[in-house]
Amino acid sequence: MPDVYFAHLLLVLAIVLISAKLGGHAAKRLGQPSVLGELVVGVALGNLPLLGYDVFEPWKTDPSMLVFSQLGVILLVFQVGVQSTVREMLGVGVPALLVGAFGVTGSFALGTAAATLLLPEAGAHVHIFLGATLSATSIGITARVLKDLGKARTPEARIILGAAVVDDVLGLVILAIITGAIAAGAGGAGVSAGAVLWIVFKASAFLFGALALGVALSPRLFAVAAQLDASGALIAAALGFCFLLAWVAGEMGLAPIIGAFAAGLVLEDAHSREFVERGERSLDDVLEVLTSLLVPVFFVLTGARTDLAAFTHLKVVLLALGLTAAAILGKQVCLLGTIGRPVNRLSVAIGMIPRGEVQLIFANLGATIVVAGAPLVDNDAFSAIVMVVVLTTLVTPPALARTFRRDANRGAAGALRG
């Protein structure tokens, strides 16, 4: 029986990986990020029972597939951290910090309000968690859109991408606070202000403590690894460091992805210089290979858990549209962070709209948290969150192109008048 199971697992992995790449290719040909194609492929595979086929159905909750999926999440967040160093975070400047903070605040507040209005029967934990899922902008999707528009080196792009990094950090801290508060109040006694403050302190202490210790100790760790006469020492040291901090975060009652993100932020190009000089691939190159293998499993499984039948219910459709409106309007609060700056403010606000990886990670985590015997994020809410990712990803490229084009036209008209 185990041999049969393993053979079927290999077949399913082959189907998932090939389908994900085909979906990603199709999405790019249509001018959309590959993640959107991977999600759509997952939705198709997960809803085959509607057509009378249930071949993929058991694998949506299979423990082995979930392990691959969760490893993909850890690697994805770790890679995002690797591509954004502590020095860059400190140097994003006041505009990016303000844009990120205002965007998170606006999205969180409007998302919580929308969930409260559209899901009145759900508890406050659900409302707050759904609000939190809308907080962070997708760095990957935003960067791809700006690159495709030829605006990746503009002042607006620097502010947007810097603010997206701030978004990720604030979003992960909010996640730590909410999941900690839910765990603290799981007994039904509620959560005191003191408990919330303790969770905030614990999350902040871990994040900044991990960064401080990591910056001090990681160069020594990689210097020792560089002395090893063994191939793969770089990726072994990097993943060991990542998994260790993820474990520490979990032991402290925080989400392991917070530890993975902190580990990525600490690592810089200097850590892999000796390895590259002796002919090995850089850390970012090796991570790209690993994430291209495991991350699609996460996105396809996430899409597969989206129940299309749920959208036959008006409540789910309204929830998806309400959360999408809150996600879009909440980010327009970013305009406050650009006041007095010589930039296209509307382009900055539009560029902060896309939601992606962080929202899907939040949704999957919420589906595993049980409150009063039921998942915090049920199938209806899960499907609505996936729809928010799809809609915000689709609306951003044409809207951003239009704002940049309008700004260029205004500049040309001003030059002619001059």
> Is 418 contained in some domain?
no
Structure tokens at 32: 């959309």
- Strand ranges (E), 26-65: none
Confidence of residue 389 (pLDDT cuts 50, 70, 90): confident
Q: What is the mean pLDDT of residues 163-176?
A: 75
Q: What is the mean pLDDT of residues 269-276?
A: 71
φ/ψ (deg, to 5) at 371:
-125, 125
Q: Among residues 106, 112, 183, which one has the least CA distance to residue 365? A: 183
Average pLDDT, the chain: 79
Burial class (CB in 10 A: 0-12, 13-18, 19+), 253: middle
Structure tokens at 311: 């959208």
> Is 266 contained in some domain?
yes
> Is 417 contained in some domain?
no
Q: Among residues 219, 276, 237, which one has the least CA distance to residue 78? A: 237
Q: Which residue range forms the structural domain that includes residue 81?
A: 2-409
Report the percent of the chain where pLDDT is more than 90: 10
pLDDT score of 53: 65
329 pLDDT above the threshold of 90: yes
Confidence of residue 185 (pLDDT cuts 50, 70, 90): low
* CA pair distance 211, 204, nearest whole angstrom: 11
**Is the pLDDT higher at 194 or at 222?**
222
Structure tokens at 312: 């036959």
Domain with 404 in it: what CATH number? Answer: 1.20.1530.20
pLDDT score of 148: 66
> Is 414 contained in some domain?
no
Most confident of 91-100, 177-186, 323-332: 323-332
* CA pair distance 135, 175, nearest whole angstrom: 10
In contact, 358 and 136? CB cutoff 8 Å:
yes
> Is 248 contained in some domain?
yes
Identify the sign of the CA torsion 335, 340, 345, 348: negative
Q: How far is CA 119 from the centre of its chain?
A: 24
Distance separating the N- and C-terminal Cα atoms of the chain: 80
* CA pair distance 246, 310, nearest whole angstrom: 34
Q: What is the mean pLDDT of residues 324-345?
A: 86
* CA pair distance 390, 23, nearest whole angstrom: 14
Q: What is the mean pLDDT of residues 56-61?
A: 77
**Is the pLDDT higher at 325 or at 173?**
325
Q: What is the mean pLDDT of residues 360-388?
A: 84
Q: What is the mean pLDDT of residues 295-318?
A: 85
DSSP, residue by residue, 258-324: HHHHHHHHH--GGGGHHHHHTTPPPHHHHHHHHHHHHHHHHHHHHHHT--GGGGGSHHHHHHHHHHH
Confidence of residue 117 (pLDDT cuts 50, 70, 90): very high
Query: Among 41-45, 137-141, 171-175, 354-358, where is mean pLDDT lowest?
Result: 137-141
Structure tokens at 149: 């528009």
> Is 415 contained in some domain?
no
Vertex 293 angle, CA 289 and 295, to 5°: 105
> Is 76 contained in some domain?
yes
Count of domains for the chain: 1
226 pLDDT above the threshold of 90: no
Confidence of residue 327 (pLDDT cuts 50, 70, 90): very high
* CA pair distance 65, 42, nearest whole angstrom: 13
Give the count of alpha carbons within 13 A of 30, CB side only.
14
Query: Among 49-53, 174-178, 362-366, 373-377, where is mean pLDDT lowest?
Result: 49-53
Query: What are the pLDDT digits (tens) for 22-58?
Result: 998 998 888 777 777 888 888 888 887 655 566 777 7
> Is 416 contained in some domain?
no
pLDDT score of 243: 92
**Is the pLDDT higher at 94 or at 20?**
20
Query: What are the pLDDT digits (tens) for 67-108?
Result: 888 888 888 878 877 776 666 655 556 788 888 889 899 999
Q: Among residues 163, 31, 102, which one has the least CA distance to residue 329? A: 102
Report the percent of the chain where pLDDT is more than 70: 85
pLDDT score of 92: 56
pLDDT score of 189: 45
Most confident of 93-107, 269-283, 358-372: 93-107
pLDDT score of 192: 56
pLDDT score of 140: 63
Q: What is the mean pLDDT of residues 99-118?
A: 92
